[in-house]
Every structure is written in C-alpha cells, then in structure tokens.
Amino acid sequence: MAKKPFHPDTLAIRIQTDRSQHREHATPLFNTSSFVFNDAEQMRALFADEEDGHIYSRYSNPNGKEFEDKMAALEGMEDGFATASGMAAVFASMAAVLSHGDHVVASRALFGASHSILTNIMPRFGISHTYVDPAEGESVWEAAIQPNTKMIFAETPSNPGLALVDLTMLGKLASKHDLMFNVDNCFATPYLQNPGAFGAHLVSHSATKFIDGQGRVLGGIVVGSAELVGKVRAFCRATGPAIAPFNAWILSKSLETLHVRMDRHCSNALALATWLETRSDILRVNYPFLPSHPQHDLAKKQMRQGGGVVTCEVAGGIARGREFLNHLEMISLSANLGDSRSIATHPASTTHAKLSEEQRQAVGITPGLVRISVGLEHISDIIADVEAALDHTKS
C-alpha cells in the first residue's frame, strides 16, 4: 500500500486491505463482530495497545479501516474514524473534544440536525454557541469569539442554501485564537475541497451522499489530526456509533469512482444551473460556480468545481414550488442527495417547514426554493424533465 507518490484519484483505488491467503483481488467483506487471538499473550498485548490489530468491530474492522485510510489520504489528514451516519460523525467531532463550559462559534447556515445538536442538545451538557452568518467578514467572526470558545464549526457549501464560508479566513482566525476548526465537507467531498489545506483540524462527512453516490447505505467519517481523531476514536469506542462492515465496504468501493462521478455531477449541475438562468419564471439560481453566485470568487478560490447541487427560486412561492415537484416525471422526490439519480426537494414545505418565515429567510430558504441534486443521467434528459415541469405549472 505505497501511499506517497500517488495522486488522490489513485489512492482512492489503490489503498487496500492486505490480501488474505486466498489472493483475492477486491477487498472481501469482513462481516464479523469480533476477531480471534492466537493466544492469551496476544490478547493481552492487543488490549494494551502494544500490538496493532482488530479486536471487536465496535472498535475497528478491516472494512472500516480501509475506508478511513482512503478518506484520510484524500483529505490530506493524518487519521480518520468512520461512523454509522453523517450525524454520528458530526456529533462525535464535537462531543469527543468539547467539555462543559466550552463555547462554539458556528456558521448559521448548517444542516438541520447539526443546528439541532448545537441549539438543543449541547446546551444541556453546558456547551454554548454563537451563530454567525456565513458570508460575514473576519471582524464579525472574530467578535463572536469568547474567552471560553474552543471551536469554530462551519459547513461549506451549506445544505440547502449553498452559502460558503471563507476557509482561509476561518483557518487563520482559528490559529490566531488557538481554536479547533471543524468543517462539514459533505457537499464538496474531498475531491472538490480539502478544508485541512486551509487549516481545519477536523473534517466531518456524511458519506451517505456523494461518497456512496448511489443512495444505498448510511455512513459518516471524521478525519483530522492524529491527536483529535484519537479522541474521536476513544469517544466512539465507548459510545458505539460504529459503522457496519457492509456499509464501510460499499463506501470504500464507491470512493474508487468518486473523482469520475463528481466530474459528471459537476458538469451536469453547471449546465442545468446555466440553463435555469435563461428561464424567466426562475427568479434566482444558486450554484457556487455560476458567476451570479454572490460568493463566486470565493468558490473559485477554495473549490475545484461547483458541486452537484443547484437551488432555484421558482416564481409563484410555496404553491408553485410544490406543483413544480408534482410535474417532474423522471427526477425523484426524495430526502437524499448525491445519488446517481437526480432528486428534487422543496425545503420550505418539508425539511424546514417547522421554522418561521424569518428563520427560513435567515438561512436562505425562500418559499419557492427548490433544491436539485443533479445526478448522472444525460444532461438533456435532466433539463427536459425540469423544462416540462416548469411549462406545466406556468404561473
């Protein structure tokens, strides 16, 4: 498993669990809850951390380890720990390293469940937070830092608003104030953006999305410095959000094609976004690599391509947004994203229906906002489906 001389695309394919005595080419599924010891002495040494090896699949498993090794290499980080879902990863990336009395400065534009962890769960354990609008400049972010602040947490691009935070600026701020910098890199994937290169100490992912890429399994991972991931591993070994071997096996296999798939997701998304901008019944199109995106320059600076998600504001508000979805024939209505199949959702009437109008506005969710996770189908078929649905629902 030579690591150093290879490009990330190659590492995603060639990092592999040691071959067994059967000389298999593809990594087998290690569907086992535990591992056997040669003798009592080996058993003692493994438990004492004097010898490297698997003990029990809540701690580690060859399939999980292969996925972790690949993700750490792709993100350019020292170590990783895989979890059962993206939310288990996000939670562990905070709970493993924060304590009662600590404070987190977080971007306001966060995935709903991450928002919930900071707003509803962490305060019960004495961990407080201050939200900052993602596009704010350094002085506003810096002003939110308190004497007990320990972490900056952000998601970029954000789900579903596609707001960016300036990774260079936050990386410098974290270093200046000696804070942990933690980034949810789910929308970009390690192929499009590496927060570690901008000073992030922890990077979390929902592997359920583009990393699986075919809507099959849940999974998550935290990668980062050896020291911090060591804390995440210890926390997860005790609390138990281990990834299932089967899910890790799927996700490691999926990484072999991540770069190929992301190129197509991104080119399809850019083509759809560009086409949507020509429609008079679309009030606004949001895609990081469109020149009209308010943070386009920043996107070009920190992302290699714009990602696979486009949002647009359909003229006619909530009613027309919902009607538009009902007239899609090929594109699926589903809560997932990052699938080979294109998926559309209407956040204002679903994921964010419980928020007030003002709260939705604050995170960029307008009434007619439609989120499209652009899949790998032929771009002409994607555009034709959107066009027909828009024409059917002319306001």
Ligand X SMILES: *Cc1c(COP(=O)(O)O)cnc(C)c1O
- Residue indicated by tokens 């029990």: 56
- Greatest distance between any 2 Cα atoms in the chain: 75
Contacting residue, 97, 104, 145, 218, with ligand X by CB under 6 A: 218
Residue 87 makes contact with ligand X by CB under 6 A? yes
Nearer to ligand X, 63 or 159 (CB): 159
Do residues 163 and 135 lie in contact, with contact meaning Cβ atoms separated by under 8 Å?
yes
- Per the DSSP assignment, residues forming a β-bridge with 153 are 106, 182
Q: How far is the CB of 44 from ligand X (least distance, A)?
A: 37
Nearer to ligand X, 88 or 376 (CB): 88
Residue 385 to residue 326: CA distance in whole angstroms: 12
Question: Of the ranges 28-36, 86-94, 133-141, 222-230, which one interacts with ligand X (CB under 6 A)?
Answer: 86-94
Nearer to ligand X, 95 or 186 (CB): 186
Residue 111 makes contact with ligand X by CB under 6 A? yes
32: left (phi over 0), alpha (psi -120 to 50) or beta: beta
Residue 323 to residue 349: CA distance in whole angstroms: 12
Strand 282-286 relative to strand 309-314: parallel, antiparallel, unpaired? antiparallel
Contacting residue, 90, 217, 248, 386, with ligand X by CB under 6 A: 90
Question: Of the ranges 79-87, 124-132, 290-298, 375-383, which one interacts with ligand X (CB under 6 A)?
Answer: 79-87
Residue 31 to residue 355: CA distance in whole angstroms: 42
Residue 347 makes contact with ligand X by CB under 6 A? no
Residue 206 makes contact with ligand X by CB under 6 A? yes
Q: How far is the CB of 218 from ligand X (least distance, A)?
A: 5
Q: How far is the CB of 82 from ligand X (least distance, A)?
A: 12
Do residues 186 and 206 lie in contact, with contact meaning Cβ atoms separated by under 8 Å?
yes
Nearer to ligand X, 111 or 141 (CB): 111
Residue type for 267, please?
Answer: S
Nearer to ligand X, 225 or 336 (CB): 336
Residue 159 makes contact with ligand X by CB under 6 A? yes
Residue 342 to residue 352: CA distance in whole angstroms: 21
Contacting residue, 17, 27, 57, 85, with ligand X by CB under 6 A: 85
Residue 316 to residue 318: CA distance in whole angstroms: 7
Residue 220 makes contact with ligand X by CB under 6 A? yes
Q: How far is the CB of 186 from ligand X (least distance, A)?
A: 4
Question: Of the ranges 111-119, 234-242, 271-279, 314-322, which one interacts with ligand X (CB under 6 A)?
Answer: 111-119
Nearer to ligand X, 187 or 289 (CB): 187
Q: How far is the CB of 111 from ligand X (least distance, A)?
A: 4
Query: b or e along 37-76 (b: 16 or more beta carbons within 10 Å of the residue's beta carbon)?
Result: beeeeeeeebeeeeeeebeebebbbbbbbbbbbbbbbbbe
Nearer to ligand X, 152 or 186 (CB): 186
Contacting residue, 17, 60, 156, 208, with ligand X by CB under 6 A: 208
Nearer to ligand X, 336 or 349 (CB): 336
Question: Of the ranges 98-106, 110-118, 363-371, 386-394, which one interacts with ligand X (CB under 6 A)?
Answer: 110-118
Residue 119: DSSP 8-state: I
- Of the candidates 14, 50, 67, the one whose C-alpha atom is nearest the C-alpha of residue 217 is 67
Q: Give the nearest residue (CB) to ligand X.
A: 86
DSSP letters for 323-357: HHHHT-SSSEE-S--S-SS-EEE-GGGTTTTTS-H
Residue 156 makes contact with ligand X by CB under 6 A? no
Dihedral, CA atoms, 35, 40, 41, 42, nearest 10 degrees?
-10
**Binding residues for ligand X restricted to 164-203, rule: CB under 6 A:** 184, 186-187
Tell me the CB-side half-sphere exposure of residue 6, using CA atoms within 13 A.
Answer: 14
User: Which residues are near ligand X by CB under 6 A?
Assistant: 85-87, 90, 111, 113-114, 155, 159, 184, 186-187, 206, 208-209, 218, 220
